[in-house]
Amino acid sequence: MMAGPLSHIRVLDLSRILAAPWAGQILADLGADVIKVERPGAGDDTRSWGPPFLKDRNGAATSEAGYYLAVNRGKRSLTISLDTPDGQSIARSLAARSDIVLENFKVGTLAKFRLGYEDLKAINPKLIYCSVTGFGQSGPRRDQAAYDFMIQAMGGLMSVTGERDDRPGGGAQKVGLPIVDLMTGMYATIAVLAALARRDVSGAGEYIDIGMLDVQVAMLSNQAMNYLVSGEVPKRTGNSHPNIQPQDVFECRDGAIALAVGNDRQFKEFCNVLGLADLATDERFASNAGRVRNMSILRPLITARLKQKERAEWGKAFEARGVPAGPINSIAEVFADPQVKHRQMRLDIPHPLAGTVPQVASPMRFSGSPPEYARPPPLLGEHTVEILRDLGIDDAQIQRLRADRVI
């Protein structure tokens, strides 16, 4: 196997929390050398966002929180104080040798340290510099801080997530994952890879401005277009899809099953499995548009039949006829699923404190250059001396930097 697709790329990761570090982890999985800069003595905020914390070989809790371990695989950790001249000098030296900088400081903060894009571009014109903030580098909110939950609310996601207001448990809900952070990291990754491709042609670097609110608005996708096309404001519909039916959670004899009937052919097969073949030719339900309009009539007919058998029995029958359906798995059940196990989505990487640390694999699969999992999420400052020596800083200077609390 060849080295990862980005094994020739170095990333200076000045970010923390989740959105930009998620991008850094993706780049690391693809083989890039990602240097994670952290505050001496404290590190990334997410190191303390527990419990749970990873346990060492003796079963005692370490200071490595699960949250931190989820987004920092494959990186090298360097501790430097960016508010000191020496720390800034080290960061500039690293930027001069890097292809990409990731940062998520408040607008203008790094420019005060002479670490803004224009400062670093002057010493490395080919540098790709990606800034991730809550609201982007311009506009009336540019100086405001933001977190995933806040942006889910502001960006409309919570308005279409959750049960209908007129049903038990109705009301706005956030997604059960920090989805805006994750998607912001994905967009940041795509952007820097696009800039790398352009640099191969032009030789020029790039400045990339990613705002979490922008990402959330873009993520509204079909719900945004539903509104823009119709003028009607989308509402929460629980698990029921606003445009495709039957696509919802339905009760069987022993619990719920998720059905995702996506087209008229699948609906015909679905009806055949239920023993309700006439529904597929009923003019009210024969087309998807009709099913969406008449779901209040169709749903009781489907539900009555589904309640006659158990989930597993229905699941096998639907699978045999190509009807998409599945159980609502817990996280534990996900990792026990034969397909997930076959795809090796759980990893165990050697770790200096715990022996091994569990990880969730990258979903990317390459035939010749697979993702790399050579490094676990690093301990705080684990690679500081190694990185400084690579910059030509000798041991005496390293001791001085440590004494001065720069590292």
User: Which one of the listed residues 33, 44, 99, 181 is annotated catalytic?
Assistant: 181
Q: Which of 154, 148, 112, 120 is nearest to 132 (CA)?
A: 148
181 labelled catalytic:
yes
CB atoms within 10 A of CB 336: 12
Do residues 322 and 268 touch, judged by C-beta distance below 8 A? no
- Beta strands of 56-124 (E only): which ranges? 61-65, 75-79, 100-103
Do residues 5 and 369 touch, judged by C-beta distance below 8 A? yes
**Between β-strands 325-327 and 346-351, what pairing exists: parallel, antiparallel or unpaired?**
unpaired
Q: How far is CA 33 from CA 8, 204, 208, 340, in A?
A: 8, 21, 20, 28
Give me 45's structure tokens: 């905020």
Sequence-ordered list of residues with C-beta below 8 angstroms from that of 174, at least 6 positions apart, any chain: 149, 152, 153, 157, 158, 161
What is the total residue count of the chain? 407
Give me 122's structure tokens: 């002057």
CB atoms within 10 A of CB 122: 11
Amino acid in the structure at residue 189: T
Chain-centre distance for alpha carbon 26: 9
Sequence-ordered list of residues with C-beta below 8 angstroms from that of 123, at least 6 positions apart, any chain: 92, 95, 96
Amino acid in the structure at residue 3: A
Q: Quick one: the chain helix, strand, coil %, rounded to 5?
A: 40, 15, 45
Chain-centre distance for alpha carbon 185: 6
Please identify every residue annotated as catalytic.
Answer: 181
